[in-house]
Amino acid sequence: MNITELLQPTQFLVDADGSKKSVVFDYVQWEGILTLLEDIEDSNEIHHLRNAGEEIVPWRQAKAELCSEGINV
């Protein structure tokens, strides 16, 4: 789901003059927004690591290596 779809049912609390003062999300919306922000953060981190010449290991590979060492992830 993209951010536009997540924000469609957004509600606003307004003051007596009709000025927006707060934003109200339901919990599913909030979780979706957090997931998108985490994805953006992860993407930025991968970009910086690649630019620094660091090796990028896919999660499945890293998980398999950790599990083979007896680390439960």
pLDDT in tens, 6-64: 888 889 999 999 999 999 999 999 999 999 999 999 999 999 999 999 888 999 999 99
Report pLDDT for 14. 97
Number of domains composing the chain = 1
Statement: residue 65 has pLDDT above 80: yes
Could you tell me the pTM of the whole model? 0.66
Q: Is 73 contained in some domain?
A: no
Parent domain of 46: 3-68
Domain membership of residue 52 (yes or no) is yes
Cα–Cα distances in angstroms (integers) from residue 60 to residues 31, 44, 64, 72, in the given order: 23, 19, 6, 13
Q: What is the pLDDT of residue 1?
A: 77
Asked if the structure places residue 35 within a domain, the reply is yes
- Output phi, psi for 69, to 5 deg: -95, 5
What is residue 48's predicted lDDT score, i.e. its pLDDT?
A: 93
